[in-house]
Amino acid sequence: MSLSFERLRQNLTRLTSGSILAQIVLAISTPLLTRLYAPEAFGLAALFSAAYTFLIPIITLKYDQAIILPKSHKSASSIGAMVIFVGSANCILLGLGLIIYLNAEPKDYGYSFLLLPVALWFGMAYTLMQQWSSRVSNYTYFSQSQVLGAFANVAVCTLAAITFTTEPIYLVVGSTTGIACALSYTIGKFRIWPYHMKLREIRSLKKRISLYRNFPTLVLPATLITVAGSNGTTFVLSHFYSIEDVGVFAVANRVLLAPAAIIGGALAEAVRSEFAARQRDRSPVSPVFRRIFFPILLLAVFFFGLIFLIPSSAFEVAFGSQYRASAPLAESLLLATFSHFVCAPFMYVFAILRKPVSGLLGQILISLFPLGCLIGLSMYAIPLRHALSMYSIFTLIGALAMLALVYRGCIKFDKNRKKHNEAD
């Protein structure tokens, strides 16, 4: 085993373990927080989180992913400084827009979203430190910061509820504080902030932006489709149903996302590595799909079968009587989450097969297609549980179509490779 591969394996292990531990902290704390905060608080927190996840790639325009490309740290540092400049300007514009909008049309708990530009700025800087971790091949501090951020988030939410009040805004404050603490820890451990820019260098920003002007168009569309699909459900439900319903949905969703949080990253990396190795060795890739798909399917059946067997009363015992309705919602969402779990590791295959258009189509099938169906169903005031059940069915249909695209792409790739080899 080469030293570079061993280092990659160790870094992936550290990164995955940090993410898993952070998710465990949040999962363990959920029964406590549901007894301190009402469903509308979790609904607000879910909306805030969905808005943050959707806006963070727009704030950075995905320029942050270009940091790992240059050979020199100086060039990478200048790209990071450009991201800070562009992202800060976007955060300011978003903040002003929110102030104007909330003054014109006051909303319940709308003031909580004034923290969104702050959270996005911290998130932007945290993403930059993640990219720096990739450059120097040291994920230890970033992994540790994820766990620290989760603890800080839970601590602020719990202390605020016990000491002051259970106003929903404190779940948002906890989330923002968690990002800030994770960022501070990472910078402190590296003992540097690598993205400095002197005043006289500001003029070079225009040249740097021009140099990477096509980068957002290459990366941003697929990212936005993915994020819209994974977070759009929260926005749709908040528009057609009550904020309390969104909160109950968020708690049910936390339970269902546990398998993906625990082993989803490791599965995705294993599949990506196997397909990349086959492509590099000029070996057939369609047998890899068949060999990997069925173990992942069995793993999904095992995990989600266990969740299905959880009695409805267990949800009320775990989360409190206010979240009694989370059990039927979890049952309704089970098929959709199952489908996402099975499909997620294969999304990387499109890039390896050099089929970006098929990759976008796959994202649309698994994400935007069922989301559009949910919007159509919700417009007719269908009960939430029934709407989510239909959403799950449409997600399964989209997943089957997406997996068929992957397998078809593998077969075509093998045929083209065989013709190429015969021609040689």
Least confident of 248-262, 310-324, 372-386: 248-262
Average per-residue pLDDT in the chain? 86
Residue 413: CB atoms within 10 A of its CB come to 21
Q: What is d(CA 367, CA 47) in angstroms, rounded to the nearest whole number? A: 18
Least confident of 10-14, 33-37, 237-241, 246-250: 10-14
Residue 410 clears pLDDT 50, i.e. is over it: yes
Mean pLDDT within 158-174: 93
Residue 260 clears pLDDT 50, i.e. is over it: yes
Mean pLDDT within 235-262: 90
Q: What is d(CA 401, CA 422) in angstroms, rounded to the nearest whole number? A: 32
More confident residue, 359 or 126: 126
Question: What is the reported pLDDT for 171?
Answer: 95
Mean pLDDT within 26-39: 93
User: Please, what is the Cα angle at 256 between 250 and 260, to 5 degrees?
Assistant: 115
Question: What is the reported pLDDT for 13?
Answer: 64
Question: What is the reported pLDDT for 346?
Answer: 85
- Quick: pLDDT tens for 146-155: 999 999 999 9
How many residues comprise the chain? 424
Please, what sign has the CA dihedral across residues 159, 162, 164, 169? positive
Mean pLDDT within 266-292: 77
Q: What is the largest CA-CA distance in the chain?
A: 75
Helix ranges, 264-364 (H): 265-280, 286-309, 312-319, 326-343, 349-352, 356-363
Residue 390 clears pLDDT 70, i.e. is over it: yes
Would you kindly state where each structural domain of the chain is located, as residue ranges?
A: 1-213, 215-424
Question: What is the reported pLDDT for 38?
Answer: 94
DSSP codes, 203-236: THHHHHHHHTTTHHHHHHHHHHHHHHHHHHHHHH
More confident residue, 160 or 10: 160
Question: What is the reported pLDDT for 204?
Answer: 61
Q: Nearest to residue 403, comparing CAs of 211, 308, 313, 271?
A: 271
Cα separations in angstroms, 45 against 122, 168, 249, 384, 415: 17, 8, 12, 19, 49
Question: What is the reported pLDDT for 263?
Answer: 75
Which range among 16-20, 188-192, 216-220 has the greatest average pLDDT?
A: 188-192
Residue 11 clears pLDDT 60, i.e. is over it: no
